[in-house]
Structure 1
Amino acid sequence: MKGCWGKYVLTGLVIAILAGCQSRPTDRGQQYKDGHLNQPLELVNEPNAKGKPVNARDFVTQVSEIRAASPSLYTRNTNTFQAIENWMMSGADTRELSKFGLSAWQMEGVDNFGNVQFTGYYTPVLQARYTRQGEFRYPLYAMPSRGKTNRRLPDRASIYSGALDDRLILAWSNSLVDNFMMEVQGSAYIDFGDGRPLTFFGYAGKNGHAYRSIGKVLIDRGEVAREDMSMQAIRQWAEQHSEYEVRELLEQNPSFVFFKPMMSAPVKGASAVPLVAKASVASDRSLIPAGTALLAEVPLLDNEGKFTGKYEMRLMIALDVGGAIKGQHFDIYQGIGHEAGHAAGFYNHYGRVWVLKKTPEAFSTPFTTARKDDGQELPVIKNNQSGGTLFHSAQNSPAVNVSNSGSLLVSNPQN
């Protein structure tokens, strides 16, 4: 289970601009950041990132992990996976997807211009001890029993004040902030400092209270500028403030995550499939079901998390979920450890995404966004208020609905 530091909020300028736009993307899209459309609109009939996907081998590895860990999930998507692999072996030319029976539906984006939000998450490595000692005084907890009445568990402030039984303590870390970051990521590897292999602490559950972004709290308080917000910014703020002030900030998020130790285990998402870095994402299941294959135009960042103006094409699969991952938003799994955490902490950028499906009728121009010159509608994925995912297809073609179970339901809109 995953989280992030807050949703990207559009300014009044962007809202005013979008208010005059149609509810679907046009053939003019725009990458934007900081809430402003500050560049001329440009045609996006072709992908910005030229060339084939850069992670073909990782994608094949991720498919192999699905086949081994979840045969049912693999079976539901096997035709698509096999078609994508055939396409990759033949050169992975994005103009030739239809030759392999693949259709590409573009995500509508958070702004109706095709701009999909990307954030990142990772698996931390924490230093901890079995008993409280010295600087190791911040507990990590196992999931408490809710009892027969399914009682509500204490909120974060109460837990910090000792509301839980000490027998639930799994380990003691040396950083309250690291514990919080571990909760946001949903799991971590624990180094007990005894020379033994790292122990994986997986997600066991949460207390049932609503998640609140402490990043947004800092922005609202004027402590950190919106454009500077990242996990690194939160850590820097914590280093400059007292433990009392840090605890007060963390307590603004009443949600609390519990863990379970697993002596040797790969990092798995909500689909119980081991995750391959930068080939798997957390998604909103009501929009993108588990096992969905994605072709993403991912923005490239520099070492300081700034957008370079360049993109790369990546193939990824939706295998995880997150409480803060809603709508046109993907959380890209970055891997394990400090370097992965550095990359994940900076990601809050935008790019385009196409859902790939093996279908009887494939579109010959998968990278046009919404309309041809003659006004004919092209496929766009919009948020569906009914809870499923509606793939808007070309006129006189079936509309394809993806249910929450991941099955394809094909219906003719004229019926």
Structure 2
Amino acid sequence: MIFESPSRFKGPLVFFYIFILLILASCGRPPIPSPPVPPVIPPPIEPLQSVTWQDVPDWNSEDLRPALQTFIISSPSLKRDPQWQAVCDEALQVNATDEEAVRRFFETRFVPHRVNNSDGTDRGVITGYYVPDLQGSRTPDESYRYPVLAVPDDLLIVELGALYPDLKGRRLRGRLEGRKVVPYWSRAEIDTGQAPVEGKELFWVKDPVDLFFLHIQGSGRISTEDGERVMVNYADQNGHPYRSIGRLLLESGAMTRDQMSAQNIKAWGRRNPDKVMKLLGENPSYVFFRSAEQDLTSPPGALGYPLTPERSLAVDPTTIPLGAPVFIATTWPNSQSPLHRLMVAQDTGGAIKGAVRADFFWGLGNEAGAKAGRMKQDGRLWVLLPRAD
């Protein structure tokens, strides 16, 4: 016979049909999803990263003696912190005239920490400030029309940390309107007489732009025609954010970036007296002052101690502790010439926000103002913290 009985293939055919059915069934079934791949989360950026002294540019060539003297001035503010107490006590024992002893003190008792921005970069903006000299009067007249104001009676300050511990150190400023706390009057509202500030005038000055820059600097010396000379210092502010009028002038095309300086802004104001108050009103922040008639040498910083010209630095205290030594690497105003120096964080400022952000205190008078007004440089910072041991 040519054909064999089909009974020989019965068992293999059954398995073959079952195999085909399994394949057909799997074709209509959705694929089993792969387990999700967890996202790669980069490690958080440390705002202060310890480095070696070799990582600090020009460290070995810097004369550290002036920085030690500045550090000692504000060290009492740090002694309440156990981390700082021993190093502050030891600073008083160092021979401040012995350059080698001063260097040994800093290198053995501190560790340098590079300051980083939240995005991991280590560069930021370094500006300058100073104490201006203004002509003023105790009484207003046709020449002296713009007031230097003390803190108004209706300015409220709410310590948010008392209500929410997570907001410790943060303040809210405002005023009462009925039973509600509302924002305090803005600069434009104060300048146009809407705020009840009568009787709070300490002095009257001639130029609204000079007064505006007094607000920016936070301190100034006012001389009157009868020979009186008084230092006025920052007392408080209205709680509104600072807005740069220099940036507004750039955006409007009134001047170029190369032309931008405090001196050129003042010159623009003299050429455009009809536009000055509107421009100044674009910055809603307003500063109030107090008199310091016995102190004409240097204003106090945020710690309450006198600032040292070219050695005191204003920083953002949320990153850099006030009172700490800070090495700055930047350039001289309007120059590429290096300016590398050990300074001390002794002050703050309304516009000084961010990790790598600082304001260089140049001193008092016109010469210091010429440098401060032209300074807006790229720079890096290293903060010196006590060794753990």
After TM superposition, the score normalised by the length of structure 1 is 0.67
Is the contact between residue 48 and residue 311 of structure 1 (CA under 8 Å) also seen in structure 2?
Answer: no
In the other structure, the counterpart of 1:77 is 84
In structure 2, the residue matched to 1:323 is 350
Q: 2:143 aligns with which of 111, 132, 135?
A: 135
For residues 150-177 of structure 1, the C-alpha deviation after alignment (integer angstroms, 9 at most, x for no partner) is 6543211122212234312121101111
2: CA distance, partners of 1:172 / 1:235: 18
> Structure 1 residues 339, 267: closer, same or farther in 2, change over 3 A?
same
Question: What is the DSSP-based 3-state SS (H/G/I as helix, E as strand, rest coil) of the residue aligned with 2:61?
Answer: coil
Q: CA deviation at 1:218?
A: 1.0
In structure 2, distance between residues paired with 1:53 and 1:110: 29
Corresponding letter in the other structure for 1:317: V
Partner of 2:246: 215
Any runs of at least 4 consecutive aligned residues in structure 1 with deviations exceeding 6 A, and if so which? 22-25
- In the alignment, what sits opposite 1:249? 279
Q: 1:247 corresponds to which letter in structure 2?
A: M
- The CA distance in 2 between the partners of 1:212 and 1:152, in whole Å, is 16
Tell me what 2:329 maps to: 297
From the superposition, tell whether residues 71 and 100 of structure 1 become closer, same or farther in structure 2 (CA, over 3 Å). closer
CA distance in 1, matches of 2:107, 2:286: 49
Q: Report the equivalent of 1:184.
A: 216
TM-fit CA distance, 1:291: 1.3
Structure 1 match to 2:62: 53
User: Which deviations, in whole Å up to 9, do the C-alpha atoms of 1:158-215 show, x marking residues without a partner?
Assistant: 222122343121211011111100001112111112223x211111211222221111
Distance in 1 separating the partners of 2:83 and 2:97: 20
C-alpha contact (below 8 Å) 2:250/2:257 kept by paired residues = yes
Identity %: 31
When the two structures are superposed, what TM-score results if normalisation uses the length of structure 2? 0.71
- Is 1:157 the counterpart of 2:188? The answer is yes
Distance 2:310 2:81 in 1: 19
CA distance in 2, matches of 1:335, 1:310: 20
What is the CA-CA distance between 1:50 and the residue it aligns to?
Answer: 6.7
Residue-by-residue CA offset, 1:38-72 (whole Å, 9 max, x unaligned): xxxxxxx7555474324x3432332332246x474
Distance of aligned partners of 1:143 and 1:292 in 2 relative to their CA distance in 1, 3 Å threshold? same
Q: Can you give the 5+ residue segments of structure 1 that lack an aligned partner in the other structure?
A: 1-21, 26-44, 362-415
| Counterpart Cα distance in 2 of 1:98 and 1:166 | 51
SS of 2:269's equivalent in the other structure is: helix
Letter in 1 for 2:134: L
AA of the residue aligned to 1:324: A
CA contact 2:74–2:346 (8 Å) conserved in 1: no
The CA deviation at 1:360 is: 3.6
Alpha-carbon offset, residue 91 of structure 1: 3.2
Q: Which residue of 2 aligns with 1:229?
A: 260
| Structure with more of its chain in helix, by fraction | 2
Describe the shift of the 1:97–1:58 C-alpha distance in structure 2 as closer, same or farther (beyond 3 A). closer
Query: Which amino acid letter does the alignment assign opposite residue 145 of structure 1?
Result: D
Shift of 1:112: 4.5
Asked whether the equivalents of residues 210 and 266 of structure 2 are also in contact (C-alpha less than 8 Å), the reply is no
User: Partners in 1 of 2:96 and 2:294 — Cα distance?
Assistant: 36
Name the structure 2 match of 1:121.
129
Aligned to 2:28: none
Q: Relative CO higher for 1 or 2, CA cutoff 8 Å, sep ≥ 6? A: 1
Map Cα deviations across residues 351-386 of structure 1 (whole Å, 9 max, x no partner).
Answer: 33211122147xxxxxxxxxxxxxxxxxxxxxxxxx
SS in 1 for 2:344: strand
Query: Which structure's CA Rg is the greater one?
Result: 2
The within-5 A match list for 1:355-370 is 355-360=383-388
